[in-house]
Copies of this chain bind each other. A is one copy, B any other.
Amino acid sequence: MSEITPEITMVAALNAALRDALRDDARVLVFGQDVGRSGGVFRVTDGLQAEFGARRVFDTPISEAGIVGAAVGLAFAGWRSVVEMQFDAFSYPALEQIIDHVAKMRGRTRGRVDMPITIRMPAFGGIKGKEHHGESPETYYVHTAGLKVVSPSTPADAYRLLRLAISDPDPVIVLEPKARYWAKGEAELTTDGAGIGEAAVVRDGDAATVFTYGAMVARCLDAAATLADEALSIRVVDLRSLSPLDTELIARCVRETGRAVVVHEAPKTLGLGAEVTARIVEEAFDFLEAPVLRVTGYDVPYPPAALEHHYLPSVQRIAAAVRQVAAY
C-alpha cells in the first residue's frame, strides 16, 4: 500500500454518501432545485440522477415550503427524503413546515410516524457569495425542539454524518460549510465512528478550549498553530453535532482547561456560542477561570463580499480572545 493517502473533497464525500444511501436503501429519495439533471449548483448530487433515475433523484419547482411539505407526506408513505435547500437563506420559506411539522410530527403521532427527513444545505459564508448566500441559520434550527442539526468540517465527517442523518428516524438538518466544499481530506469513507451528538477534540491542548464547527474549525486550528508558537497550548473542539450538543465533552474540556472561547460565523446574539456558554456555566462553573469569550460574526446582516473578511472571525480575533482568557 502506498504511503500517500488519497484525498477527496467534501463535495465528493457528500456525493458518495448520497450515492451509497440511494444504493443501500430503495426508499431513499433525493430531490430539490437543480439536484437532478445538473447535479446541483455545487455538484453535490452530480451523476446521481443518471445512476438512479429520475424517480429517485429529481428536480423540483422553486417551492421550498412545498418541497419540505412533500417530504412530510412522503414520510407518511414510507419514503426517506433527502432534500436540498439551494442555499442557507433559501431554507427560510420552509421554516413553517420545518418547525410545525417536520420537527413535531413524531410527537404528534405518539411515535407512530417517523420523519426520516434530511434537509441539506450549503451554509455559512466565506466564499464571497451574493447576498442571502452566506447565512448561518443554525440558531433557527437548534432552538427548534424535534430537530437534529449537524455540521461536518471534514470530508470523512461529511460522509458519515450525512449517512447517519439519512438513516436517522428523526429529521436532521445538515449544514454543509460551503467554504470547505473543495478542501480535501482523508478519503476513507465509513459510517463507523462518532454518531450524531458527539463532538470531537481535533487538537489537544491544556491552556484553553476553543469550541467551534463548520468552516471555522480550520481557522481555529490555524489560530491554535499560531498560539503554539507563543507556547500557548490550545485545545480545539469541533462540535459537529449542534443539536443535540455534546454537553459532556464540552464540560469535560472546560474542567480540564479552565478556559473557553466559542467561535462561529453567526451573529453573536443568540448564536450557538450563547448556548455553549450557558452550558459551560451550568456544568463546569467551578472550573471556569475566565469568562467564556465569543468570537463570532457581528450583530449585523451578513455583509457584501468586499467586507466579508472583516465580518468572519479571523485567526487574529480568535487568537486575541484566547490570549485574553489565558491571561485572565
Contact = CB atoms under 8 A, between A and B. Distances in A.
Nearest to A290: B285
A301 B144 CA distance: 8
B89 A99 contact: yes
A42 interface: no
Interface residues of A, number: 45
A224 interface: no
A269 interface: yes
A52 interface: no
A292 B278 contact: yes
Contacts of A281: 277, 281, 291-292
What number of copies of this chain does the assembly contain?
Answer: 2
A36 B22 CA distance: 52
A70 interface: no
A37 interface: no
B301 A282 contact: no
A278 B281 CA distance: 9
A62 to B, nearest CB: 13
A100 interface: yes
Contacts of A131: 108
A178 interface: no
Contacts of A273: 278
Contact of A92 (B99, B271, B278, B298): B99
A66 to B, nearest CB: 12
A243 interface: yes
A271 B104 contact: no
The 5 closest A-B pairs by CB, nearest first: A92-B96, A285-B291, A274-B274, A143-B270, A277-B278
Interface of A: 65, 89, 92-93, 95-96, 99-100, 103-104, 107-108, 131-132, 139-140, 142-143, 145-146, 243, 245, 266-267, 269-275, 277-278, 281-282, 285, 290-294, 298-301
5 contacts: A104-B301, A139-B140, A142-B270, A270-B275, A273-B278
